[in-house]
Chain A
């Protein structure tokens, strides 16, 4: 009961901050709502006994990625951003499309039979660092390495794009 209440709190705040994030005129405020969102997602992870993922969620997303967004956003001219309309000309169509997809997903959740696979439950496999490490370095070694090569390529690309601006 208590757990359910806590979960509902997290879910409500996640939804609310997600909506606020995309509707704020001031992009810096959007980033702050996103931070709130990340915190509560980490909270959901904790509820699922996945403390490691919760910590990584905060370190990687809040601590590294979002702060870079904030960097970029803060260099924008916020006053000018505020003047512009947040909504695109076609927003009713987009909203309609979004509602359609959301409705379909709700339908999916209601009618779909999501089989509970006992092997997948967090308590059994243990989402602890050790279990995660073992999974990543045996069964999922190749995807893991590919992911790191993708990041390496991203690094090469960033260097390449940044280098162009300097005229020799």
Chain B
């Protein structure tokens, strides 16, 4: 356990982000700087880039990591991997904000927007590495708080207000319930520290109901963050009302951070490995079954609700609920391999989800519409339309989980984790496969509209211009990797194997 100042050297990215956030805040006091939006965007972009570089060049973690700041923060492979993932998603948020018309035209100065994104990134990287209930709760609040504000940032009328207020109220109640659960857990075990809590539950048996109540309360907060089934209600409205770049970000970065929170909480406190391939549950709570049920409900609900959506952002929102359900399978598997599978899936999901949203942004830049029916005949509108449509096809097919795209491999990993657990969870694998078939229907509906209908109604696309080069090449790059990792996924596999180390 390391003291405060010694620990700073181990968290260069976090330290840099906090300092940069404060610096940017002070700089934004000058009107000249704050009204220059592109300057501030660039500053934010470079800030995240530097943090990313610092994280990537930081010293290698040895073994199962180190406890920093008196055990508040844990620096291990899991936290490093997800820190990089989260920072990349913040980077893409900046990139998309440059591209999207909503975020480039609709507000006057970008200082607060950039500041909030920086704070949000800081919240995420703290969340993925916290090893203490207090730290975990605070960074979760930090992340949620900035997310509420960013949701309501671009004023698009009633929808935005509805989204922001719903998000805030829902989040407030979820975190209130969660902190109540945390306080009960503290009352039971007398400690806030993950390791100490683990030791307590190894050495003491707690009556089932005593533990079940705090765990359910805590799950409410976690489920809210990842939009799992009974706590998902905010998700579609927020995704629809928020600025599209932020929607894309919300379904990747914060969600990944939320999953790390779940993994750390349950694997570190309520699981113990004896070098085996499956964790044994500690504390007399069968959380494998709990998550299996949660996962089945979440994916089924998400897919069924996505079937009848008219707005593509809402459709992708429900699809992201379904994906959270898939990923929960890996948590339910209770295996170290499950953690690898989660990272693998997020790495892939990052590519395809950001890609799909980038197409949505570009189309809405052209049509000013997010309705699925406006995508009709997109493939036949100039070369640009054909490009956009085929890119969207790649991402949607990958999201469905069809080979040879990366999404397929991701799903295979998740299913492998479930199979490793043994026959008790085979039913969950069956549910997942059925769900994949359901999801094919609504993804394919978009494809059918784009490709098979030649009726070219509505607006035409503008001609290709010079400043279009960046977004279109990003789009192509994302799809390249989506295909590449569907064929050759060894690099990600290597990385994801590292994530397990925190359990040793």
Physical interaction between A and B: yes
Partner-B contacts on A (CB < 8 A): 104-105, 107-108, 111-115, 117, 120, 138-143, 146-147, 149-150, 152-154, 156-157, 159-161, 164, 168
Assess whether A149 is in contact with B73, with CB atoms less than 8 Å apart. Answer: no
Closest-CB distance, B37 to chain A (whole angstroms):
14
**A137 vs B188: C-alpha distance in the bound complex, in angstroms?**
26
Partner of A112, one of B72, B116, B188: B188
- Top-5 shortest CB links A-B: A117-B190, A112-B210, A157-B149, A160-B112, A142-B69
Number of residues from B at the complex interface, CB < 8 A:
42
Partner of B112, one of A111, A115, A120, A156: A156
Partner of A138, one of B4, B145, B209, B213: B4
**A115 vs B18: C-alpha distance in the bound complex, in angstroms?**
38
- A155 (CB) vs chain B CBs: closest residue: B25
Given contacts A112-B206, A139-B70, contact A146 B149 (CB under 8 A): no
**A168 vs B31: C-alpha distance in the bound complex, in angstroms?**
14
Given contacts A107-B209, A156-B25, contact A150 B141 (CB under 8 A): yes
Closest-CB distance, B43 to chain A (whole angstroms):
16
**A13 vs B303: C-alpha distance in the bound complex, in angstroms?**
49
Assess whether B190 is in contact with A159, with CB atoms less than 8 Å apart. Answer: no
Assess whether A114 is in contact with B187, with CB atoms less than 8 Å apart. Answer: yes
Assess whether B70 is in contact with A113, with CB atoms less than 8 Å apart. Answer: no
Interface residues of A: mostly helix, strand, loop or mixed? helix
**A156 vs B207: C-alpha distance in the bound complex, in angstroms?**
45
Assess whether B149 is in contact with A140, with CB atoms less than 8 Å apart. Answer: no
Partner-A contacts on B (CB < 8 A): 3-4, 18, 21, 25, 69-70, 72-73, 108, 112, 115-116, 119, 122, 126, 132, 134-135, 138-139, 141-142, 145-146, 148-149, 152-153, 155, 184, 187-191, 204, 206-207, 209-210, 213
Given contacts A111-B207, A114-B187, A142-B72, contact A160 B153 (CB under 8 A): yes
Partner of B142, one of A108, A138, A146, A168: A146
Assess whether B138 is in contact with A111, with CB atoms less than 8 Å apart. Answer: no
- B177 (CB) vs chain A CBs: closest residue: A101
Assess whether B213 is in contact with A143, with CB atoms less than 8 Å apart. Answer: no
Assess whether B119 is in contact with A153, with CB atoms less than 8 Å apart. Answer: yes
Assess whether B18 is in contact with A153, with CB atoms less than 8 Å apart. Answer: no
**A156 vs B28: C-alpha distance in the bound complex, in angstroms?**
11
Chain B residues with Cβ below 8 Å from A140 are: 70, 72, 134
Partner of A159, one of B112, B207, B209: B112
Partner of A150, one of B142, B190, B207, B213: B142
Chain A residues with Cβ below 8 Å from B4 are: 138, 141-142
Chain A residues with Cβ below 8 Å from B139 are: 146
**A159 vs B18: C-alpha distance in the bound complex, in angstroms?**
20
Partner of B116, one of A143, A146, A153: A153
Assess whether B126 is in contact with A157, with CB atoms less than 8 Å apart. Answer: no
Assess whether B70 is in contact with A138, with CB atoms less than 8 Å apart. Answer: yes
Given contacts A104-B213, A143-B134, A146-B138, contact A157 B184 (CB under 8 A): no
Closest-CB distance, A127 to chain B (whole angstroms):
16
Of the listed residues A104, A150, A159, the one surrounded by the most CB atoms of chain B closer than 10 A to its CB is A150
Assess whether B213 is in contact with A115, with CB atoms less than 8 Å apart. Answer: no
Closest-CB distance, B473 to chain A (whole angstroms):
33
**A166 vs B209: C-alpha distance in the bound complex, in angstroms?**
53
Closest-CB distance, B501 to chain A (whole angstroms):
23
Assess whether B152 is in contact with A111, with CB atoms less than 8 Å apart. Answer: no
Given contacts A149-B18, A153-B116, contact A142 B73 (CB under 8 A): yes
Chain A residues with Cβ below 8 Å from B134 are: 140, 143
Given contacts A111-B207, A139-B70, contact A105 B213 (CB under 8 A): yes
Assess whether B149 is in contact with A153, with CB atoms less than 8 Å apart. Answer: yes
Chain B residues with Cβ below 8 Å from A146 are: 126, 135, 138-139, 142
**A161 vs B113: C-alpha distance in the bound complex, in angstroms?**
12
23 A–B pairs (Cβ distance < 8 Å), ordered by A: A105-B184, A107-B209, A108-B209, A111-B207, A111-B210, A112-B188, A112-B207, A113-B204, A113-B210, A141-B4, A141-B69, A149-B119, A150-B138, A150-B141, A153-B115, A153-B145, A156-B116, A157-B116, A157-B145, A157-B149, A160-B116, A160-B149, A168-B108
